[in-house]
Amino acid sequence: MAKLKLTDANYYSQEANWQYMSASQFKAFRKCEAAALAELKGEWGRRETTALLVGSYVDAYFSGELEQFKADHPEIFKKDGTLKADFEKAHAICERLNQDELARLLLSGKHQIIKTGKIAGVPYKAKFDSRLTARQVEAICKKFPEIRSLVPFCGPMIVDLKCMKDFESMWDEDAAERVSFIEYWGYDIQGAIYQKVDGRLAPFVIVGATKETATNIDAFYIPDEDLAFALSEVEALSPRYDAIKRGEIEPEGCGKCAYCRSTKRLSSIKHYQDM
């Protein structure tokens, strides 16, 4: 069957999600295979939370699609037509980023570029927030010389915009230690997938802005060796997740997430201390 040609209109459709793996889908399977498959089947869904909408508002601001976003989401407005507090904050975050020259330049690339490719034989899709051309990167390097070390051969750059609570490290239960928010949220995995789908070793940079009272902003890069390590995990697990989607392998539940709790069935009686 011919692969669906992806557009802005169908990129997030169920058909596209069945035909292509993505960074967010890979991370969902990595977290809980059973929940990820249930979501694909429409049996389980994540609500469009305010936090997600705030991030989408910021994305829309920089991609030039803000007016369309507002039209599509009347729920972000109060009865008097003004923005609700969370989205007033989102707009303030946008303006804060726009006031910073480097942040503005990093976010000035071509927006919402859709790319497809294969990783370990599995079709992937990706949508870049900002992809800078070699010429744009060179112009940035002239103004900010320290950045040149990231692009010694003056190639393109992939930039992703993230809006988050803060930049503090996070407690990783599996690793039993605090880790960078980059690792905790799997942004290294996202960068590895984007870089591979792009087809070139373009640096992957995150422009971050926080939702703190006084918005903090920063730009972070993930070294190529870290992306290569993350890619090795993507290559190792992608065929399994693809086989689960095709119904060839039964998914495993994590036993901890909301989906697993909601579908749990008792088969024994535990000693009260075996928790």
Counting residues of the chain whose pLDDT is more than 70, the rounded percentage is 99
Q: pLDDT category, 2, cuts 50, 70, 90?
A: low
Q: Which helix (H) or strand (E) holds 86?
A: helix 85-99
Q: Is the dihedral of CA 208, 210, 211, 213 positive or negative?
A: negative
Computed over its alpha carbons, how large is the radius of gyration of the chain? 20
Amino acid 175: pLDDT = 79
CB 109 within 8 A of CB 159: yes
Q: pLDDT category, 152, cuts 50, 70, 90?
A: confident
CB 129 within 8 A of CB 159: yes
pLDDT at 93 over 90: yes
pLDDT tens per residue, range 13-56: 999 999 999 999 999 999 999 999 999 999 997 766 888 899 89
Amino acid 124: pLDDT = 97
Q: pLDDT category, 274, cuts 50, 70, 90?
A: confident
pLDDT at 215 over 90: yes
Q: Quote the tokens at residue 171.
A: 């407690």
Q: State mean pLDDT over 211-221.
A: 95
C-alpha closest to that of 182 among 133, 117, 230: 230
Amino acid 1: pLDDT = 54
**pTM confidence score:** 0.92
- Number of residues that this document lists for the chain: 275
pLDDT at 106 over 70: yes
Amino acid 13: pLDDT = 92
